[in-house]
Amino acid sequence: MNGKLLTVGDFVHRSGFCFVARLPQPGDSTNAPSSSRTRIFEDGLEIGPAHSIHKHIEDRGSGRYSHWGHDLYFSSSDGTSPQRNGRRYEVLLEDPTEKRTELEKDIFLAIQQGVLRYPYKGIGCCKNPIDMALYQMLIWRERPRTILELGTLNGGSAIWFADVLKNFGIDGNVHSLDIAPVPSVDHPMITFHRGDILNLAATWSDDWLASLPRPILLIDDAGHHYKMSRAALEFGARILKIDEYLVVEDGISTPMGEDSQFDGGPLRAIDEFMASRTEFAVDRELCDFFGKNVTWNIDGFLRRV
């Protein structure tokens, strides 16, 4: 993220672990509760998570923060008072002219009308042509033998992934999971599972996961709610090995202003996860292949490092 680094020093104690500082640039709001990309550093080390509930900042601290309106509600990493602990606090404010994607909203909406109707072999697939091209590049290059798809819908995307594996001569299989009933689709390379992304261990045991052929490609195309994508990220961090990929789909909803019903959606989950963890790196070659984040999966092609 491009922006400016600003030292913060005028702290006002709010309650508990929470302190407040005034910032020159607005952040989250009621209409856009996860739009801010402000990052905070304590003696040069990034703290978080961002977009925390203010009551949690007050009661739990541990570096939680929220940039709400023009105010930064934050806590130190260890519960000490930033007024007295002698540490340097800096915030990295997003450049308001920086765009997450070169896609314009009118173009996105026009393509999306087709995406929502798009069938593969007569079955609803809901994939856009840009990401279908990117997935083929990724699969050809990495040659995954197991694709784990979170979010089945009608099964069209699972069939497409299986056919891509077959066409590329990859001896692999697709396992697609959804909380809805399993679709009546038959394909020798696909197994459909019924389960909850928020409780994957109840369906996919550690022993079963350990038996899968590697490499694994994990795809989050479930409900696109923040908590679901965050669960997929945590799951990926637990099961994926170095150089395996996790793709978090549909972060495009945030820059297009379509994420209010998703509590910030996949992009909020990605931003928070990547700000506080080091297991993954964004594959910029894929994200920016057709232009800066010209993909529905904004910053969502993640490689385990």
Q: Could you tell me if 296 and 265 are in contact, meaning their C-beta atoms sit under 8 angstroms apart?
A: no
pLDDT digits (tens, 9 = 90+) for 216-259: 999 999 999 999 999 999 999 999 999 999 999 999 998 998 88
> Which stretches of 129-193 are DSSP H helices?
129-142, 156-167
Angle of the 226-239 helix axis to the 265-276 helix axis, nearest 10: 40
Phi-psi group of 273: left, alpha or beta (phi > 0 → left; psi -120 to 50 → alpha; rest → beta)? alpha
Alpha carbons 155 and 289: distance in angstroms, whole number: 27
Q: What is the pLDDT of residue 21?
A: 95
Cα 255 versus chain centre, distance: 13
Identify the residue with better confidence: 33 or 77: 77
Helices and strands in the chain, H and E counts:
8, 17
Provide CB contacts within 8 A for 218, sequence distance 6+: 148, 150, 232, 235, 236, 239, 240, 244, 245, 246, 247
Q: Could you tell me if 216 and 148 are in contact, meaning their C-beta atoms sit under 8 angstroms apart?
A: yes
pLDDT digits (tens, 9 = 90+) for 87-133: 999 999 876 667 889 999 999 999 999 999 999 999 999 999 999 99
Q: What is the pLDDT of residue 264?
A: 87
Report whether pLDDT(2) > 70: no
Q: What is the pLDDT of residue 47?
A: 92
pLDDT digits (tens, 9 = 90+) for 147-180: 999 999 999 999 999 999 999 999 999 999 999 9
pLDDT digits (tens, 9 = 90+) for 199-211: 999 999 999 999 9
